[in-house]
Structure 1
Amino acid sequence: MGTMRVAVIGASHWHLDLYLPTLLELPDVAVVGVSDVDARVAGELGERLGCAWSDSHERLLDTTSPDFVLALGEHAEMPREAGLLLDRRIPFAMEKPCGTDAGQVRALADRAAAEGAFAAVPFVWRQSELLTVMRERFADADIAHLSFRWIAGTPARYTDSGCGWMLDPARSGGGCTINLSVHMIDLARVLFGDPVEVAAAVMANTAHGLDVEDYSLVTLRSGGRTFHVETGYLLPARHSTFDMRFSVKARSHYLIATGLRDVEVVGPDGAVEHLRVHTTNVPHYPVFVRDVLRRARAGEPPIASLTDMAAAMDLVQEAYRMGGINRG
């Protein structure tokens, strides 16, 4: 097959650097254009990459005719971006959460499914080394309880990276629940299957006093199995630095993940297996990029789609309701 022409829209999103290096290193991929509502950002990036650029997504798509689009940008703008791509029948991957409320995302998912569109979402823990380690040692059905604490840097990292809109719930949809916890909410659906429900939720903004929550604790339940998801914008640190501890109780195993690479698995006989594997989301975006482009080329469905995003957003919205926050 020939070179795949890829465009990036909403390029000012702070996650761009999780995708771009892989796009640039693949020999059968060419980044043909970038766009952003901020013309300065689009222009500087386009000049650096030596490709077309625009402050209009429509104009960029019309002039570059890409084979695939990576869609980023403000959460509030994502439904419009997805509509443009669906109208033009361009396969795409869109950053979560693909909108600011569950209704928006469900409408997009229903349309994409009805039209047979390739619409991927980077729920990268589905392709993670951590999940591989778990499944090599016990079945999903063996898992009884999970507790994931994943605390990221302070909200200053969003303003510092030019994405201050993340702190406006009208533009972002919320704080750490919709931005961080959603990964684990999707993982609960993967591990537990349906149905998954929100059993309890507590949220607060007391650490920084902003309009979005900076701390979130959500308990998910499927039958008698539970998943505690704790996230926050609390650690004085830059992007991709975390305070984390993941614990998983399976039928005869207990797994503990701490830091970025350290995993212990306690086996049925009490023996402890020490592993060095990537535990967080950041190292798995290159895996996602390679896989999603291969699938788009081959006509295979993505690992996670807008339908999965809509199901996760239903749970996110219910968590907000239980946490006393109205999000649509």
Structure 2
Amino acid sequence: MPPSSQPLRVAVVGASHWHLDLYLPTLLELPDVELAGVSDRDEKVAKGLGERLDCPWSVSDEQLYDDVRPDFVLALGSHAEMVGEAEHLLDRGIPFAMEKPCGTDAEQVRRLASRAEAQGAFAAVPFVWRQSELLGVMRERFTDDEIDYLSFRWIAGTPQRYLDSGCGWMLDPARSGGGCTINLSVHMFDLARVLFGPEVDVAGAVMSNAAHGLPIEDHSLVSLRSGVRTFHVETGYLLPGPHSTFDMRFSIVARDHYLIATGPDDVEVIRADGAREHVRAHTTNVPHYPVFVRDVLRRVREGERPLASLTDMAAVMDLVQDAYALAGPLPAGIGNSAEEGSP
């Protein structure tokens, strides 16, 4: 790491990922951070970003590392590319944060996690609900072991948004690993492990591609269990609208409280005596990426471990794998025809 008086040089690889805009504004506004360069396999994307941001660019991650010698890397890209990206970073000993799911199957991510642990590498994963205001509201009112039941319904926009943002690979299971379960539900699977502890398993799973007829699931309902406690996770690509718009309802039952979130910034708290209050708190993932960026860069500067790591991602991917196995294969050729231009 550079001396604390010097900017932290951060590179971004796989920059065509649609989540780039969740990270980039914070990277650009931090006074102690310098955007060292960007890369993407798509030359048009890499060149366009490099010229717009006035920084070096490349179509090769490794060439970018040779050219700019970053102190830290934000690794994005398609899910199928992430294993190779992580291996290059581990080879070079560069601290990094990698978008979930860090691979397309559990075995890949377990292998990466084992290597990162053995090397003592800094390998963070943005499970941003760990830093969410919703979790703060919960913990101000009850302890984790008082929680009995959670039900999270989190429905995002249709698959067309991935085509519109140049990320059509999300609709190809060979490159994405699956649909809304591996992309959205993973956040809740991790939250279950945070709240319940590591002994979480998949009790049941139902998935469908009925809405769009694509080879990935567009709706997923998974029940997680830890002893007698349960967490039901429903996600989907069903809501007409752009990125970062959701149909959501989160319900949390604890010993003396019932919490309901039905929008992006409001939590209703119902106490055992029936009294109700409304608390302003961000409840979705989007507002918490700036929090993640600031925290992860502070941690790498100060030599702390990531809040969530590849080891946590591997444990979540085990749950993802179990959910897919219980749900079984998707039927082919049903529902509406795939959106124009999809794989």
TM-score, normalised to structure 2, is: 0.94
Residue of 181, 184, 200 corresponding to 1:180: 184
Structure 2 residue 226 is matched with structure 1 residue 226: no
Structure 2 CA distance for aligned equivalents of residues 274 and 213 of structure 1: 35
For residues 281-296 of structure 1, what are the structure 2 equivalents within 5 Å?
A: 281-296=285-300
Structure 2 residue 280 is matched with structure 1 residue 247: no
Cα displacement (A) at 1:204: 0.2
For residues 169-318 of structure 1, what are the structure 2 equivalents within 5 Å?
A: 169-318=173-322
Structure 2 CA distance for aligned equivalents of residues 276 and 300 of structure 1: 31
Structure 1 CA distance for aligned equivalents of residues 17 and 110 of structure 2: 23
Structure 1 CA distance for aligned equivalents of residues 53 and 8 of structure 2: 16
Partner of 2:7: 3
Cα displacement (A) at 1:194: 2.1
The answer for unaligned runs of 5 or more in structure 1 is: none
Partner of 2:98: 94
Partner of 2:338: none
Cα displacement (A) at 1:262: 1.4
3-state SS, counterpart of residue 144 of structure 1: strand
Structure 2 residue 157 is matched with structure 1 residue 153: yes
3-state SS, counterpart of residue 221 of structure 1: strand
Structure 1 CA distance for aligned equivalents of residues 195 and 269 of structure 2: 18
Cα displacement (A) at 1:259: 1.0
Cα displacement (A) at 1:269: 1.7
Partner of 2:337: none
Structure 1 CA distance for aligned equivalents of residues 280 and 167 of structure 2: 33
Cα displacement (A) at 1:325: 3.3
Structure 2 CA distance for aligned equivalents of residues 299 and 18 of structure 1: 25
Structure 2 CA distance for aligned equivalents of residues 39 and 198 of structure 1: 41
Percent identity for Structure 1 against Structure 2: 76
CA offsets 1:275-305 (integer angstroms, 9 cap, x no match): 1110000000000000000000000001100
Partner of 2:117: 113
Cα displacement (A) at 1:199: 0.1
3-state SS, counterpart of residue 103 of structure 2: coil
Structure 2 CA distance for aligned equivalents of residues 211 and 55 of structure 1: 29
Partner of 1:34: 38
Cα displacement (A) at 1:268: 2.3
Cα displacement (A) at 1:78: 0.2
Cα displacement (A) at 1:48: 0.5
3-state SS, counterpart of residue 174 of structure 2: helix
Structure 2 CA distance for aligned equivalents of residues 116 and 106 of structure 1: 15
- More deviation, 124-133/259-268: 259-268
2:318 maps to a residue whose letter is: D
Structure 2 CA distance for aligned equivalents of residues 62 and 193 of structure 1: 41
- Superposed CA RMSD in Å reads 0.7
Cα displacement (A) at 1:273: 1.2
Structure 2 residue 62 is matched with structure 1 residue 53: no
Structure 1 CA distance for aligned equivalents of residues 292 and 235 of structure 2: 23
- Number of equivalences: 326
Structure 2 CA distance for aligned equivalents of residues 38 and 229 of structure 1: 35
CA offsets 1:204-243 (integer angstroms, 9 cap, x no match): 0000000100000000000000000000000001000000
TM-score, normalised to structure 1, is: 0.99
Structure 2 CA distance for aligned equivalents of residues 42 and 263 of structure 1: 40
CA offsets 1:236-287 (integer angstroms, 9 cap, x no match): 0100000000000001100000111111011122110111110000000000
For residues 60-139 of structure 1, what are the structure 2 equivalents within 5 Å?
A: 60-139=64-143
